[in-house]
Each structure stands twice: as structure tokens, then as C-alpha cells.
Chains A and B, each alone.
Chain A
Amino acid sequence: MSFPKKPGGKAFEILKTLPRITLANLRPEPGSQKEGKRRGRGQHGGNRSGRGHKGERQRGTRPRLGFEGGQTPFYLVIPKYGYNEGHSRRPQYQPLSLKHLQYLIDLGRIDPTQPIDLTQLVNARGVTVQPLKRDFGVQLVDEGADIFAAKINIEVQRASETAIAAIERNGGVITTSFYDPISLGILIKPVPFFTRGQPIPKRMLPGEDMVPYYADADNRGYLADAAKIQQARLALAQKYGYILPDISKDKLYHMLAMRKDVRQIFFGLSPGWVVNMPEKKILKPTDEKLLKYYNS
């Protein structure tokens, strides 16, 4: 004789008959909320109320932070030097380790079967980029290069050599590209931009100081020659001692070969288009001058 066992049993029966949960039925776990100190009350909180005995401590007239009784304080003794000079004009790149990238891919927050962009990284809450704080994007960092095992098509703003090697070793593709601050703001928050009703702007080219970086094949820059990039891939494989997989024979070759145009911000959207979010429409300009400007 075997009776079918109900999951939960008696507890389930009781739960069914209990009243609904309201504020009147709830109470915090005993010991979870500690009472705060109340000064000036009772034997322990009263008398001097935790202020000490006489002097500036009790009377609350202590001098400012850093004051050393008249001796030249530490923060004035040390002479000035231009370590932080022009710090607000220096471009910053939010670091993204390969370990964290692998973590995001493993958890399913980033899709490796689609090209990975800064938009995807921000949507997955993998990085937080603040264009207003002189952030110019994301940089790939070596940490986790030995455990990285994902074939991806990723686009970042800066990457170290080891990171490039780690990605290409797994048959992936990495590109470094430049986004000027306005384009960056649009890239990380596309939906608020589309609700602004502006046409998608052209991505500006980097300044003269950054052009050498992005025109160099060793950095996989987006302005570099394709042939030179292939040579650089081979050279890097030789340097780090791995066999470069042939991506042209890959199933996902079409996805891995997807790259943005120099002036494009989004995959599939050209500069000059207006996105109508509520009606899910895209408006494209037809005027020749406008087309010429947006396609230049």
C-alpha cells in the first residue's frame, strides 16, 4: 500500500489556512536589528555622553583636519609637482579583464554568437562607462588570459597585447576603435538617444595624437590595413606560441567578419537615420546634400 505523498505535507496544509501577510504579521529576525546608541540617557549613555574629559574633545572646538598644532602640516610640507597636471584632459578607459568577460559569457549575460560591442557590455552590466568623466571607452586587460576560452568578435577601445593574443588564440576577432564623447554617450545609452528625435550622427575620427594608435595593425586598430592585421595576427601567434586558428573555415565566419564602418555607431544603422521608437520605424534622409554629408 503506497499513498501518494503530497509535497510539503503538514506544513503546506498549515500554510494554506494561515491569514494573509500584512505589516501587522511581520517582525524582523530577532538579533538582526541592533538598537542605536542614545547619548545623554542613563548610566552608560549619560554623564559626559562619550565625549571624553574637558578640552577641545569634549567642547567640540577641535581645529580643522590636517592641522598639527602649528607645525607645518604634512599636506603643506610636501612640495607640489605636476603629477596630476592636466588630469582632466587625459582620456580614461574603464578596464575589463578577460576573467570578467568569461564570467559574463558563462552566465549568459553576453552572447558570444553576436558581435560584442560596448552597448552589449553595458547592457549586460559588465562595465559602467561615464563619458562625462573623461571616459573614452573600455580597455581589455590581461587578467584571466590563461583561462579565457570563448570565440568572440569583440570591439573595444584599447587592448593589451596579451589580451589580443588570448582572444585570437581561441579563434576570435578583436578590433580597437575610437568613439568621440558624443558618440560614446549614444553608444552606451541608445534608447534615450532614440527618444531624443535626433538623426544618428557620424562618428568622428580620433585626434592626431590617437591616430597612430588606431592606424597600427599591432593594436588591431580600425584604421589599419587588413593585410597588415593578418600579418600581425601571425606574428603574435608566433610570439606567444600558439597556432592561429583559421577563422575562414568557421561556421560563424560571417559573424566574426562583421565590422563597423569608420563612421558608423551601431551595427545595421547608418549615420543620418532617425529612429521612431513608438512606431518602430526608421526614417532615412533623401536630400542629396544630407546624404553626401552623412555618407562622407
Chain B
Amino acid sequence: MAASMLCRRAAVLCQTLNGISPPKSLLYANSKCGLVFQAATYNPKPLKLNIHRPYIPDKDDEKTPEWQKTAKYDAKLYGRYGSVSGLDPASLWPSPARLDAIIAEENEWHPPLEVMLKNIAEKEAEETAKRLAKEKLIAANMAKMPKMIEDWRREKREAKQKQKEQKAQRSLLLVKARERFGYAVDPRSHKFLEMVAEIEKEEKKQKKLMKRRLKEEKAAAAAPPVASS
């Protein structure tokens, strides 16, 4: 029932739309009651080209405005009125000189598809190469990292150790100075510095003596075995 109502309504619609030929195409819509025809039309705005009373300006007259004597306007006249405009249709296409200019412009500003694809491929390759190089560098540096960390840590430890030793030495010297002079000496005073210098001299002498002794012992140890053998 509904389908038939729709059909009738669609048919009436088609008839009332004036100037429209029977629907160019018919839609088939599936509904529960079966196939239903639906007309697919639209009502376009009437095209008022004014063919029966055309205005074609007089080229030789001075009163006609300049813009109505241009080639562009002539083309528009042809498009609007057809052959009634009296224009040679061959002039609608570009002249050989103009065509050359157009072709040159197109070759310059609009490269063909192959060229564009090549450029894109090149750019992509460049980008990937850059990225890979960067990543390689990062990987190499990261591989060096553990060793660098170890080195740094070792240096820090040694520096700390040295500092500790120096501090210990300084405190020993202070204690010695305290014993020697009987009061706490300022490490910066010249007495203290002289004392330090003396201690150093004595230590050097001792070291030299030790070295000589060692040498003599070695010579003594080397000579008797040679003498005995």
C-alpha cells in the first residue's frame, strides 16, 4: 500500500515539475513491501542566455566601451550566444605564440609526475640517510659510555683518596709541630714552614741512606757469590 502511494506521489511530482523530461534515472530502494521506485531529479535554475535578443556590441563604434572590444569578451559572447555572435570559433583556442608561452610556463612551473616522484624519493633518501647517520653516532657513543663512566668514577675515587691522604699528612705535621713548639702553630706561619722544610730534609737524607745501604747490600750479596764460585 505504502509503496503504491509513494509511486503515485513520485509520478505526480514528476508531472508538476515543468520543463523536466521524465526522470533520467530511477532509484531502486528496497523496502519491506518490495521494490519501490523513486525518481531522482532536481530542479535547475533556468539558464537565461537571452539568445533571441542578443546584445552584440559594434566594434567600430566609439561609444562602445573598450572592454567590450576585447578577445575575452568575444569568447564570452560566443559561449553565451553561439554562432549568432559571429565569431570565428578558431580564435577561442590560443594562438601558436601564446601556446608556446603556455607550454614553456607549464614546463617550468609544473614538472611531470616522474620528475616529482624522483624528487620525493631523493628527499626521502636524504632524510633517511641523515637519520641513520645520527642514530649510528648515538649508538657508537652509547657503546663508549660504560667505559667512560668507569674512568670518571675511578678518577673521582682517586682524587678523593689523594685528598684524604693529604689531609692526614697535614694533621700529622700539625701534631708534630704541636709537640715541638708546645702550642698550636698556625700552619701558615713561617716557623711552621721552616719546620716542615727541616722534616723534609731529614726524610730525604734518610731515603738516600736507605738507598746506599740497599746498594751496598746488593753489592755485598753479589760479590761473595762471585768470589766463592
Chain A residues near B (Cβ < 8 Å): 105-106, 108-114, 123-124, 191, 194-199, 204-205, 208, 211-212, 215, 223, 272, 274, 276-279, 281, 283, 285, 287, 289-290, 293
Contact = CB atoms under 8 A, between A and B. Distances in A.
Nearest to B54: A278
B120 A208 contact: yes
Contacts of B192: none
> Which label, helix, strand, loop or mixed, suits the secondary structure of the B interface?
helix
Contact of B113 (A105, A124, A223): A223
Contacts of A195: 49, 76, 79-80
B174 interface: no
A108 B120 contact: no
Given A197-B79, A293-B103, A211 B40 contact: no
25 contacts: A106-B29, A108-B39, A111-B25, A111-B40, A112-B27, A123-B44, A124-B42, A195-B49, A195-B76, A196-B75, A197-B76, A198-B75, A205-B110, A274-B92, A274-B93, A276-B78, A276-B79, A277-B79, A277-B80, A278-B84, A283-B92, A287-B93, A289-B96, A290-B93, A290-B94
Interface of B: 24-25, 27, 29, 38-42, 44, 47, 49, 51, 74-84, 89, 92-94, 96, 99, 102-103, 110, 112-113, 116-117, 119-120
A113 B89 contact: no
A272 B29 CA distance: 40
Contacts of B51: 278
A274 B89 contact: yes
A83 B40 CA distance: 44
B25 A114 contact: yes
B146 to A, nearest CB: 42
Given A278-B51, A278-B81, A109 B76 contact: no
B110 A197 contact: no
B113 A205 contact: yes
A89 to B, nearest CB: 17
A114 B25 CA distance: 9
Contacts of A290: 93-94, 99
A263 to B, nearest CB: 11
Query: Top 8 A-B pairs ranked by shortest CB distance?
Result: A197-B79, A197-B75, A278-B82, A197-B78, A279-B82, A195-B79, A108-B40, A111-B40
A223 B117 CA distance: 11
Contacts of B89: 274, 276, 283
A158 to B, nearest CB: 19
A215 B42 contact: no
B79 A196 contact: yes
Nearest to B28: A113
